[in-house]
Structure 1
């Protein structure tokens, strides 16, 4: 596995990125994981997890009424800058695996109605990874993993309520926009695997030199 640079693990909602990263961490503590997920954020960066929770619990329910899409994008930029800072920090030993980088956040901002924003040009100027590993998942599996919509937030589906048709259409559009962002980068696609262990195996193979 390469010792320099960083890699990005990308995929739609329900692809299993966080679960795969936790499995990789269990097997290979030398891999530095970078994420905004509460279960992967280091204690010194607890603010990032709190901001993410506040976005989901307070901002998204009032999006378009209490808070504008531009306000949402401004908050999400804190996550983008954190991911960049951690991905490119100096003095890191071993490989670095970043959860989604700015690609997924940018795509979701666009799906929220902010198709053009000066921030996007700045994000796109950030250092790029050695490789993107894209976890694919079938709409059926993703919907099941969401407990038939019960665990979804409003930035994971179209409509006022989480229904399967709105979820699947949103995920198709999300996939399209994310792949547009990485179309000039080396991308390895990992098809849906039977279990977390096999998913982690496939990701690690993709990161091998």
Structure 2
């Protein structure tokens, strides 16, 4: 969509995206597009319910009560919601999108929910100005999850969460996400710094992009602290 301005904050599970997005919104007043309840508020109850039903029933019964295509059709509601929010007009300032379709597509592949026609449609969506990738060690992410206490079924291999199942899934997720954005300008930020410092780094990237509309950033270029 001509004139749309959005950036994507991407990272594996428990990389701290939600905390960074909240800090960024407080600092800048920029709009955040996400299907997480913390950002949906009371305005999109249907999106919240569909996300809950996907995690609690549809994903569990994929390949049994429900076909992979049926489950993907539920996942797709989140993807289209993020696209619509990213491209919504009439809003001042940039929009920062939580993961866009990149993370969901990679997770679907790892979970055996594969339909190349659907994925091709997602890939036809307008690209962001840039992706900012929060790079977190899977072992650190496991500890951040309360050693599995906060892990859901879409974050690990198998039916039950374990450190091995989570770490292996997250390592593969990182690989697939970075492959998915290889043709999109991408900056990588480590997550050892505190949340406010990471939010400041993301803000600098977005402001730099907006100030150099005709320039191209190098894919995969690390961002100094």
Q: How high is the TM-score relative to the length of structure 1? A: 0.93
CA distance 1:154–1:67, shift in 2 (3 Å)? same
What is aligned with 1:68?
67
What is aligned with 1:36?
35
SS at match of 1:155: coil
Contact 1:69–1:112 (Cα < 8 Å) also in 2:
no
What is aligned with 2:7?
7
What is aligned with 2:19?
19
1:46-85 equivalences under 5 Å are 46-85=45-84
Once superposed, what is the RMSD of the aligned Cα atoms? Answer: 1.5
1:114-193 equivalences under 5 Å are 114-193=113-192
Is residue 93 from structure 1 mapped to residue 115 from structure 2 by the alignment? no
Bigger RCO (CA 8 Å, 6+ sep): 1
Contact 2:147–2:163 (Cα < 8 Å) also in 1:
yes
Provide the C-alpha distance between the structure 1 equivalents of 2:159 and 2:91, rounded to a whole number of angstroms. 44
Moved more, 115-124 or 148-157: 115-124
Q: How high is the TM-score relative to the length of structure 2? A: 0.86
Provide the C-alpha distance between the structure 1 equivalents of 2:207 and 2:195, rounded to a whole number of angstroms. 19
The Cα shift of 1:95 comes to 0.8
Provide the C-alpha distance between the structure 2 equivalents of 1:71 and 1:20, rounded to a whole number of angstroms. 33
Contact 1:10–1:99 (Cα < 8 Å) also in 2:
yes
4+ residue stretches of structure 1 with deviation over 4 A? none
The Cα shift of 1:159 comes to 2.2
Provide the C-alpha distance between the structure 1 equivalents of 2:139 and 2:180, rounded to a whole number of angstroms. 25
Provide the C-alpha distance between the structure 2 equivalents of 1:157 and 1:202, rounded to a whole number of angstroms. 29
For structure 2, the residue ranges without an aligned partner over 5 or more in a row are 209-225
The Cα shift of 1:4 comes to 5.3
